[in-house]
Amino acid sequence: MKTERPARIQDLVGILNALYPPAFAESWDNVGLHIGDPAAPLNRVLLCLDPSEMALNAARAAGAEAILTHHPLIFNPLKNITSGNETGRLVLAAARAGIAVICAHTNLDRAPNGLNDWLAALLGVPAALPLAAGDDALLKLVVFVPAGYEDTVAEAMFKGGAGQIGGYDRCSFQSAGIGTFRPGEKSRPFLGRSGEMERASEVRLETIVPRHRLHRTLENMRKAHPYEEVAYDLLPLSNQRPDMGLGRIGRLPEATTLELFAERVKTSLGAASLRLVGEPQARIAKVALCGGSGASLLAEAIRQGADVLVTGDLKYHEARSAQAQGLALIDAGHFATEHLMVRGLAQVLRDEIPRRGLAMEIIEMEGETEPFRVF
């Protein structure tokens, strides 16, 4: 049995960066560690949707050293930190209490096994794919390896995060050839002699790597490669990742009506009320969805032939536009379509923490409620 070691704030940040890289976040977002010392000890983490006074009080009561929120505490640049506004009060209170604040927002929304995948599963939409596929700054990595070492080097790159294409991993291509080089006087060549031309049987090893995992991949590659000087190419790609992006879209196992599907949404999310656009008996087979505010995906949902879009925060003119184009809408609210992240992320972390050999307890905040009341 693996011995658990004491955790630090930076361990949790590292887990989140690996599973939900900050590079996945929208450019306007602010994710990661907002407040706290990365080297500070961490025994308990409180998960919540919103950074609030109630969340800070719950963290104190639970003896948690960190709060992990979905919505950012610090969103816009701060010119000052005072008790004269809500953000300043929370920043000061967290700092005084020694409670770190960490945010996983649109990186959690867009990543595989993130909020929108959990939402799709909860609503009974299997095998859902991103509605708006994301660019993850993919690179093709080509390295030249002496014959017989290609598997060792490939394995090292895979461990660094290379070779992932959709639901497949350890993807590469290998082709044999002849490499030529002449070692210099001060060189210590793996093959050949200084000052003499050398021809070596080599393998051209190609794989794909996201930019956010490039440093680790190259570091692993260099350590595993037998050559003193490693020859490799990095080629930028325009490929989109089919497993990462905003929103999700998929087909129901069996078609239903808008009215019946809306009942499923309301029950599954525990929503007090819904707002619907469309005929109650309209046929629903293909479902688009996006936790939080997904109005920006209306056109894409229509383009991909969705029968309904499930999201929150829809406005009047967006509803009119969807109505005119035959797209049904279910507005379940921002809170109801995102609060499920507490349970979903808690489960992911409880699975991942033991793999890292860490001693860290995950606590799910109770008592967060929808701010709106329907009369």
Give yes or no: residues 79 and 60 share one domain: yes
CATH number of the domain bearing residue 227: 3.30.70.120
18 part of a folded domain: yes
199 part of a folded domain: yes
Give me the chain's average pLDDT, please.
95
Q: Helix or strand or coil: residue 347?
A: helix
Q: What pLDDT shows up at residue 185?
A: 86
369 part of a folded domain: no
116 part of a folded domain: no
pLDDT band at 146 (very low <50, low <70, confident <90, very high): very high
| Whether residue 244 has pLDDT greater than 90 | no
User: Cβ(170)–Cβ(180) under 8 Å?
Assistant: no
Number of domains in the chain: 3
pLDDT band at 2 (very low <50, low <70, confident <90, very high): low
Give yes or no: residues 232 and 262 share one domain: no
User: Cβ(222)–Cβ(170) under 8 Å?
Assistant: no
CATH number of the domain bearing residue 298: 3.40.1390.30
Give yes or no: residues 143 and 230 share one domain: yes
pLDDT band at 92 (very low <50, low <70, confident <90, very high): very high
pLDDT band at 123 (very low <50, low <70, confident <90, very high): very high
Nearest to 128 by CA among 212, 238, 231, 244: 244
Out of 56-70, 158-172, 244-258, 321-335, pick the least confident.
158-172
> By residue range, what is the domain housing residue 65?
5-110+340-364
Give the other-Cβ count within 10 Å of 103's Cβ.
26
Give yes or no: residues 350 and 328 share one domain: no
354 part of a folded domain: yes
Give yes or no: residues 129 and 262 share one domain: yes
Out of 36-40, 133-137, 291-295, 367-371, pick the least confident.
133-137
Question: Domain end: 205, 220, 239, which one?
Answer: 239
Give yes or no: residues 66 and 102 share one domain: yes
Q: Is 23 or 328 the better-scoring residue by pLDDT?
A: 328
Give yes or no: residues 196 and 275 share one domain: no
From residue 132, alpha-carbon distances to 9, 52, 336, 364 in Å are 33, 31, 22, 30
Q: Helix or strand or coil: residue 85?
A: coil
pTM: 0.86
Angle at which helices 53-62 and 86-97 pack, to 10 degrees? 10
Residue 316 sits at φ, ψ, to 5 deg, of -60, -50
- Residue 129, beta-bridge partner list: 249
Beta strands in 268-340 (DSSP E): 275-277, 283-293, 308-312, 328-331
Question: Domain end: 179, 205, 239, which one?
Answer: 239
Q: What pLDDT shows up at residue 59?
A: 98
120 part of a folded domain: no
- The DSSP element (H or E) to which 119 belongs, if any, is helix 115-122
Give yes or no: residues 160 and 289 share one domain: no
152 part of a folded domain: yes
Give yes or no: residues 322 and 281 share one domain: yes
Give yes or no: residues 11 and 103 share one domain: yes
Give yes or no: residues 194 and 252 share one domain: no
Give yes or no: residues 96 and 233 share one domain: no
- Report DSSP letters for 221-273, one per residue: HHHH--SSS--EEEEE--PPEEEEEEEEEEEEEEEEEHHHHHHHHHHHHT-S-
375 part of a folded domain: no
For 310-334, how does the pLDDT look when each residue is reduced to its tens digit (9 = 90+)? 999 999 999 999 999 999 999 999 9
